[in-house]
Every structure is written in C-alpha cells, then in structure tokens.
Amino acid sequence: MRFKRNIYLKMKTLPEARDILLQVFSDLPPLASEEIPVPDAVGRVLAEPVNARLSSPNFHLAAMDGLAVKAEITFGANAAAPKTLRVGRETFYVNTGHVLPPDTDAVIMVENVNTLDENRIEIEAPVFPWQNVRRVGEDIVATELLFPRNHVITPYCVGALLSGGVFRVPVKTRPKVLIIPTGSELVDWRKLKLHKFRPGQVLESNSFVLGKLIEKWGGTFRRHEMVVDDTAKIKKAVKAAVDDDYQMILVLGGSSAGSEDFAKTAIVELGEIHVHGVTIMPGKPIVIGSVGNKPVFGIPGYPVSAIIAFEQFVQPLLHAWLGQPAPQRETVDVRPTKKIASKLGVEEFLRVKLGEVGGRIVATPLPRGAGTITSITEADGIIRIPNHVEGINDNEIVSAELLRSLPAIRKTIVIVGSHDNSLDVLADQLKAGHSELTLSSSHVGSMGGLMAIKRGVCHLAGTHLLDAADGSYNISYLKKYLPDTPVRLVHLVQRDQGLIVKKGNPKHIGGIEDLSRKDISFINRQIGSGTRILLDYKLNQLDVKAAAINGYQNEEFTHMAVAVSVLSGTADAGLGIYAAAKALDLELIPVVTEQYDLVIPREFFETDAVQILLKIINSRDFKQRVEALGGYNTKNTGSVIL
C-alpha cells in the first residue's frame, strides 16, 4: 500500500478529514478468514458466499395431521357422492412432519374425514396435488446461495444455515487493535484504593470504553499498559505494535494543540501524519497517521472527545475494512428548549436530552465540556451544529441523531427547572416500578423552569421562588409569569437551605453577612435560580452589596456542583441544600427552610405518566428515601396547592 507524502498540519473539516482517511487507507490488506461453527458465527462477517448443501425439507413432508393420498383418486368426491378410501392401501395416516408414503402427493386433514371403520374412511371433498404438503426444497434448495460475502450472521441465519446442511462457515478475522493509554496522571482503577486517590490523578477509562466500542463494531482489542508522557516510550510501544500482528493502533491522550503533543511526535518520527486536527467539537485534536502501512490514531484524552473522534474516524474505517456500510443513526426533528450559541468555524456535536411534549420532540442541551462523560450517558440524541452558523434559536426546528429509540423518548417525562436531590430518588422510583417510563430532569433554575412551561417545552417544572414581599413561595410568580397558562401546583418537599462549608467550618463563617469578608471566596448559583433569588433577598435584608462578595459572579447550576466546589477548595462557601452538603460530608450553616414545588400544566396533569409520577410522590417509600437524604420534611409532600 502506498501513502501520499503530504502531511496535513492545518485543521480539516470533518468531510475533508473523512475523505483523506478513506483515500489513504483505501487499499488496506484484506482480512484473513477463518472457519468456525455456525452457532459461534453470530455477529461475524462472511468472508465467502455460502451455498446450501441440503434441501429443506429434504423429503416431501406432511404439513397437517391427516391421511396421505394420491390426489387424483379423490377427484369427484362431494357431499352428494362421497368417496370411500381403504386405509393402508389407498390412504395412510400421517402426522405433521412425517415423510409422505410412496405414491402420495397430498394430505387430507383429519377433520375432513369420516371414519367408517378401522379399514375405511369417507371423504366429501377432493384434495389437489401437494395440498397440505411441504415439498422437497420448499424452503431451501441444495446449492442455492444462502448468504453472500460480507453478510453479517444473525441468530436467524443460524437456523437457515443448519437447515441447509452448513455447519461451519468462513468468516473474516476481526481487525486486531492495540490501545495505548498515555499520560503521567493516569491511574489504573483496578489497582486503586479510593482513600489514596490524590488530586491531579485521573482514573483511566477511555481504553475500556473504546475497546468495547471496537468489539461492538466487529474488531478485537488489547489494552497496552499505561505509558507516561514520554515520546520515546510512546514511540517504542507504537513500533512494537506495528511489528506485531496488530492492524490498527490507537494512542490515547497526548493529542492536543499544545506544545506537548506526544502522539503526533511519535507518529511523525515513525511514519506519516495525514490529518492533525479537525474542525469538530469535541474531538478537534485527533491525529490520523500511518506507520509501516498501518493506521495509527492519536485520540484526544477527554472522554467525550475520545468517543466522538472514535465514532467519526475509527468506526468508519473498521466498517470499511469489514466490508460493511457505515451505520446511520435515526434522526428526528426537535425543538430546543432554549437558544443555543455555537462557535463559527467548528461543527459542534451537542448532546441533548429529548422528550415529547405536546406532540413535539423537545431538546434540552447537556453540559458541553469534552471531559463531561455524563453528557454522553445521559444524552438521548446529538444535534450537529454546522460550522457556518453561530447557533440555534429556541423556536428553530433542527434535526437530532437519536441515541435512544423514538418510542422510548415518547415515554419520557420532561422536567425543567430548579435542581433538587429528591428528583434523583423520583427518577429511580419511577424506573423501578415502570421500566417503560423515564424521568428526564434539566437544571436551568426556577425561573428557567417557568419559562419552559410558558413555551410549552416540558411536562413539569421544579421551583422554589421566594416572594420577598410576604415570604410565600411560587404562587405570586405563577400569577405574574404564567397568567394565561392553566397549571397545577404540587408540593414536593420542604428542605433546609444554607451555606455549605467544609467540615469543621475552618473559616468560622457564621452566616450570609460573613460572605463580604475578604478572606472568603464564594460560589453562586445561576441567575434565575430560586437559590440566587434567596441569596439576593438575604443580602438586601442585611444591606450587603453583591460587589463586595468575592465570587458572586461565579455560577454553578446544581446544589451538588456547589458542594463539590466547596469540597475541592474552589470556594469556601456556597448557598445550597443540606442534602448536598451531607452527601459530600460537608457542613451546612442553616439560612432558611424553603418550599420546593412542582408546576404542572393542566393539559398534562391527568395524563397516565404524570399520574403515575404523582402516585410515587405520595408513596411512603418515596418519602422515606427522601428524608434519609437529610434536611427534608415530607409532611405535606404530594399535596395539591393549586
């Protein structure tokens, strides 16, 4: 195989990079074949066409219980002139699947026979030749083509092959891939004791994820021991793999736009670089090269980047090598729940949650970070934002590739609004008792939830909006922002909210008033969240200026994210719920006990799915699990306020 001498140092668009990939590796050596037993061949690709060795059926067989007969001797029989046939001479008893006796070509169904005695029967209607008979070769004829080359064997194929007398089949060997995880910060989770996990260390997971994707798409893999960030050591591992019988090498990590691009350096010193950087997000830093006529990829280290890069480049090459078309995901038109900005010049793979609301599929964006693996595990679909547009309007209909089936998406209950840990309990309880249903929650703050209700893009909204005038919750906001939208308001929980601080409260924070101290850093919630509104209300009461708080402008979208910021030392304090503090073994300085409710449009309130959800909310099991989280009161949980 010959490779072009060009080295592409400038970033390519996705179509350009894919074209280069398939052109450079268009004449890869064909995969060898091996012959294996038919039952073991499910999921494998045929290396050669397979023809039947036997006919099926191999003899004429009775298709019904009854009596076998030569059809012509029954002609003329009718109710006015029945015919009598002698058993054992002119007709013979057979059961379904029995071989037809010689000189018979039809079966009279037993229910159409009048038995005169043990030696004679009477019929009142004729049968035609081959009636109620499975003839030789009815299903399969010996020598006919059963399956062509490149056919993927399914469980159904096993029956056809065995019935056709084929017991072993030639299949293509699986492409053998070596995965080399690199990075001095990596830790093997199989050898880790959690209490010894140190800041700066990273659990290596990409090799296991990509390895299983390789197996899913027809290959086999071996994981190399982790290699530190050292070009010479990475180069040695790649060279050994090229000299061995591996047909493809993936170098994980060490692929970036920075100065320490170990994968690129190793590949270019051993072979050639064909693509270095693609205008996609995530996955931009991918390296496509060749060493010793073998494909070598530099895969980005962030989990989502690694997955997207694999799916866009490694997966198509595996399919082409196996003679298979690239799989196409089902697509559906969706409406975003909010306006989505995007960067010009980069094609973005935006992960979204999906659900059907009011007959339309709505899409809520998930976190966009390349290191956020949950943005893939929680995603129902991917919206691909072209590189020539700056984003998507909230009323714009766009196409989404489905990661979950459309019927499952239609069974999703969409809740948008304020975050609360009890929603995780609710989602689990729902799935445990009604596996066909899914609760999908997106955390955009209480006001964001009300606006989602107003736009008709969710089934429920979680809210805890304090009315500073009278100390009530939520009702005044519904009247102000949803005056024309009939809704029901259901109480979910009372919860303790306060300042989350480290164990032992090392900064000796006493309350909201201390947030203006110069030695304290704060992590805030996003604008429009009930927690942000509560904070501003308290600051106004205390006559503390927001500008005096170090970190007031730094925002997170969930109580757990606030708690993690405190735990990691990013901030000394953050306003959040007790359950979040307890979950991470932090402390809470109480500020208020607040009311968290669910807003449900009346058009959805009586639906089966929402009624199932409300039944769970009212259950003892749900209330007990929520109270076990800490900082919750469920005395009025499930009560309808409006």
* SS3 category, 242: helix
Query: pLDDT grade, residue 260 (50/70/90)?
Result: low
List the CATH number of the domain containing 388. Answer: 2.40.340.10
**Is the bond preceding 282 in cis, omega lying within 30 degrees of 0?**
yes
What mean pLDDT value characterizes the chain?
93
Backbone angles phi, psi at 408, to 5 degrees: -65, -40
Could you tell me the CATH number of the domain that includes residue 188? 3.40.980.10
- Is residue 387 within 8 A of residue 13, CB to CB? The reply is yes
Q: Are 432 and 446 in contact (CB under 8 A)?
A: no
Write the secondary structure of 45-93 as one string of H (helix), E (strand) and C (coil). EECCCEECCCCECCCCEECCCEEEECHHHHCCCCCCCCEEEEECCCEEE
If asked whether residues 168 and 181 sit together in one domain, one would say no
Q: Which two tokens mark 298? A: 């530099």
Q: Are residues 229 and 317 part of one domain? A: yes
pLDDT of residue 151: 97
When pLDDT is averaged across residues 398-409 and rounded to a whole number, the result is: 96
- CA gap 205, 203 in Å, rounded: 6
Residue 431 lies in a domain: no
Q: Is cis: bond before 29, omega within 30 of 0?
A: no
Nearest CA-CA partner of 28 in 249, 240, 274, 248: 248
Q: DSSP letter string over 89-118?
A: TTEEEE-TTPBPPTT--EEEEGGGEEEEET
Q: How confident is the model at residue 254 (pLDDT cuts 50, 70, 90)?
A: low
> Is the pLDDT at 491 greater than 50, yes or no?
yes
pLDDT at 114 over 50: yes
Nearest alpha-carbon partner for 321 in 182, 442, 174:
174
**pLDDT digits 0-9 by tens, 536-579:** 999 999 999 999 999 999 999 999 999 999 999 999 999 999 99
Tell me what percent of the residues of the chain surpass a pLDDT of 90: 89
What domain range includes position 194?
Answer: 14-29+175-321
CA angle 428, 433, 435 (to 5 degrees): 80
Whose CA is closest to 587, among 463, 504, 470, 480?
504
Spatial distance between the Cα atoms of 336 and 363, rounded to a whole number of angstroms: 5
469: Cα separation from own chain's centroid: 46
Q: Is residue 4 part of a domain?
A: no
Same domain (yes/no): 452, 588: yes
Q: Are residues 605 and 478 in the same domain?
A: yes
Are residue 109 and residue 153 in the same domain, yes or no?
A: no
Q: Could you tell me whether strands 522-525 and 573-577 are parallel, antiparallel, or unpaired per DSSP bridges?
A: parallel
β-pair type (347-357, 460-463): unpaired
Whose tokens are 């073991």? That residue is 40
One-character DSSP codes across 267-290: HHHHSEEEEE-BSEES-TT-EEEE
pLDDT, position 9: 53
Verify that 218 and 183 share a domain, yes or no. yes
Do 179 and 167 lie in one domain? The reply is no
404 with 348, same domain? Answer: yes
Q: Is residue 353 scored above 70 in pLDDT?
A: yes
Residue 440, in any domain of the structure: no
pLDDT of the residue at 255: 53
Which residues are CB-contacts of 386 (< 8 A; sequence separation ≥ 6)? 347
- Shared domain for 202 and 213, answered yes or no, is yes
Compute how many other C-beta atoms are within 10 angstroms of the C-beta atom of residue 338. 18
Partners of 299 in the beta sheet? 252
Domain boundary among 289, 321, 353: 321
Residue 35 in tokens: 């012959």
Instruction: Report the alpha-carbon distance of residue 157 to residue 214 in Å, rounded.
Output: 23
User: For residue 48, what is the domain's CATH number?
Assistant: 3.90.105.10
Using CA atoms, how far apart are residues 331 and 307, in angstroms rounded to an integer?
19
Instruction: Return the pLDDT at 10.
Output: 78
Closest CA to 451 of 479, 474, 417, 414: 417
- What integer is the mean pLDDT of 376-384? 95
The Cα 339–Cα 396 span in angstroms is 9
- The least confident of 170-179, 279-288, 368-377, 491-500 is 368-377
Residue 408 has pLDDT above 80, yes or no: yes
pLDDT band at 250 (very low <50, low <70, confident <90, very high): very high
Residue 182 within a domain: yes
Residues 521, 547 within the same domain: yes
- 3 within a domain of the structure (yes/no): no
pLDDT at 194 over 80: yes
Q: What confidence score (pLDDT) does residue 338 get? A: 84
Confidence check: pLDDT of 8 > 50: no
Does position 2 have pLDDT exceeding 80, yes or no?
Answer: no
Q: Could you give the number of structural domains in the chain?
A: 5
CATH number assigned to the domain comprising residue 521 = 3.40.190.290
One-letter amino acid at 362 equals: V
Q: Is residue 301 part of a domain?
A: yes
Of 152, 172, 192, the domain-final residue: 172
CA distance 291 to 246: 12
| Residue 50, in any domain of the structure | yes
Q: Clarify whether residues 457 and 506 are in a common domain.
A: yes
- Judgement on whether residues 269 and 285 belong to the same structural domain of the protein: yes
Q: What are the pLDDT digits (tens) for 282-313?
A: 999 999 999 998 999 999 999 999 999 999 99
Q: How far apart are CA 516 and CA 544, in angstroms?
A: 7
Give domain status of residue 93, yes or no: yes
5: pLDDT strictly greater than 70: no
